[in-house]
Amino acid sequence: MAATIDEAMDSLLLDFDQIYNDFKNGVSENQSLRGNCIAEGKKREALESTVSNLQSENERLARLYTESLEKLADKIELRTSYQTMKEELKRLNDEHLRKDTEYRNTMEMLKQNHARKIEQLESQIRGYHDQKVENEAAMNQICQDLAGHRNHVEFLTRRLENVSSELESRCDVLIAFSEFVIFRFRALYSSSNYTTLSFTDHDEIQGLKDCILIERAEKEDITKRLEDLEKECAHLTTLTITLLLS
C-alpha cells in the first residue's frame, strides 16, 4: 500500500512536474505570445504606418496619375487643336497661294489690257493729231476758199448790179425805141396808105423791125445772163453756208 501511495505520489509529482512544466511552458509561451503580440503590434503599427504611407503615396500617385491624365488629355487636345490649326493653316496657305496666283494673273491681265488701251489711246491721239492737222489744213483751205468765194460773190454782186443797171438802161432804150417805132408807124400810116408806101418807107419799116428783133435778142441775152448770175450767186451762197456749217 505504501508502494501504491509512493506510486501515487510519484504520479502526482510527475503530474505536478508536468503541470509545472506546462505552466512554465504556458508562461513562456504566454511571454512568447506577449512578445509576439507586442512584436505583432509593432508590426501592426509598422504596417499601419506603411499602409498610411502607402495610402498617402497612393493618393499622391493618384493625384500624379490624374494630373498626368489631365496633362495627357490636354496634350491630346492640344495635339488635336494643333492638327486642326495645321490643317487650317495649310488650307489658308493654299487659299493664299491660289488668291496670290489669281491676283498675279489678274494684275498681268490688267497690265496687258491697260497696255493695249494705252496703245489704242496713243493711236487715237495720233489719229486725232493727224485729223487735227488735216482739219486745220482743211480749215485754212476752207478759209481761203471762203475768201475766194466771198471775193467772187462780191464780184458777181457788182457784176449783177452792173447788169441790172445795164438792163435798166437797155429797157429804157427799148421803151424809148418802142415809142419811137410806134410814133414812126403812126406817122407812116397817117401820111399815106400802106399800099402806096415807097421802097424807102418799106426799108425803114424793115429796119425798124430788124432793130426791134436785135433789141429783143439783146434783152433775152441780158435776161439769161442775169438769171445765170443769180443762180451762181445762190450756188455760192449755199456753198459758203455748207462750208461754214461743216
Q: How far, CA to CA in Å, does 151 sit from each of 104, 142, 225, 229?
A: 67, 14, 19, 14
pLDDT at 155 over 70: yes
**pLDDT classification of 197: cutoffs 50, 70, 90:** very low
Q: What is the dihedral of CA 79, 83, 85, 91, to 10 degrees?
A: 180
Judged on CB neighbours under 10 Å (0-12, 13-18, 19+), 190 is exposed
How far apart, in whole angstroms, are the C-alpha atoms of residue 139 and residue 63? 105
Q: What are the residue boundaries of the structural domains of the chain, listed by start?
A: 132-245
**In the 8-state DSSP scheme, what is residue 192?**
S
Residues counted in the chain: 246
Q: What is the mean pLDDT of residues 80-106?
A: 90
Cβ-proximal residues to 160 (8 Å cutoff; 6+ apart), any chain? 226, 229, 230, 233
List CB contacts of 145: < 8 A, sequence separation 6 or more.
Answer: 243
- How far is it, in rounded angstroms, from Cα 213 to Cα 209? 6
pLDDT of residue 47: 79
> Tell me, what's the pLDDT at 153?
66
Least confidently predicted of 81-85, 135-139, 198-202, 212-216: 198-202
- How many alpha carbons fall within 13 Å on the CB side of residue 223? 7
Task: Report the predicted TM-score, pTM, of the whole model to 2 decimal places.
Answer: 0.35
User: Is 76 a residue whose pLDDT tops 80?
Assistant: yes
What is d(CA 94, CA 88) in angstroms, rounded to the nearest whole number?
10
Supply 87's cell numbers. 490643317
